[in-house]
Amino acid sequence: MSTLTIAQLQTHVYEDKLKNVEMLVPLLRQAKEGHADIVCLPEMFACPYETKNFPDYAEEEGGPLWNALSGLAKEFGIYLSAGSVPERTPEGNIYNTAYVFGRDGRQLAKHRKVHLFDIDVKGGQSFKESDTLTAGTWSTVFDTEFGKIGLCICFDFRFPELARSMVLDGAKIILVPAAFNMTTGPAHWEVMFRSRAIDNQVFTFGTAPARDRSASYHSWGHSIAVSPWGKVLNQMGARAGIQTTAIRLEEVDEIREQLPLLKGRMEHL
């Protein structure tokens, strides 16, 4: 039986990059004591979510932050879906990048946010990631002892074709570090994670930062876990904390057998 436990850390984001890493240690210890196999961090968990900050906080792959996260995965013997961080390339491009590390600390996956968050909602949120970020170009699925898992970042998940691509590549779980705001969160957060789960018959996990009213960007929070039937298994509020969800992967195959949506789809209409 492919049962696994996923812990989501809805953390506060400090201006001090090192402090954001240090605060993970007791939380990861708590998650490990709760028998977590996979631990998920939020989008931009170590960088206040402002476009001007991304170049200042950015590091190359293999830099100090990358090494700290790799070391924590190895220390606690977990899969660490390490939220997302600003990544700088040797060419000078900045990406919103999600790394995943295995139980031995090796990097298993790397996803660069494909769909940049450029919006201007009348009477609501205005934000333009493309002011400082470059878009990624690929869909990401990685292997674990439990099977294949998909990975994308926040605004990526609004695009159904990206989720479908991950599922067609074998994903039975999709992990989404995300930071919806106070405009889009109440309107779309839960319904989006339920919709992607239902359409693709997969587990979906969205992990967000805690809300901080003193920051310029106010996260909706509400880290969420949804079953392939579209049932909300767990959902947090706005405050920092840990949410742990045990899932049975056989549920994916059972639901796909009962409702053969993927088998019955018409590809060329």
**What are the catalytic residues?**
43, 113, 154
Q: Provide the token pair at 100.
A: 């995943």
Q: Give the count of alpha carbons within 13 A of 55, CB side only.
A: 10
Judged by DSSP in three states, 192 sits in: helix
Q: Provide the token pair at 147.
A: 């099977």
Q: Provide the token pair at 188.
A: 């779309």
Cα 178 to the center of its chain, rounded Å: 6
In sequence order, what DSSP letters do the residues of 1-25 get, joined into one string?
--EEEEEEEE----S-HHHHHHTHH
Q: Provide the token pair at 180.
A: 């919806």
d(CA 127, CA 6): 31
Give me the residues paired with residue 7 across strands. Answer: 39, 244
- Nearest alpha-carbon partner for 263 in 161, 171, 168, 143: 168
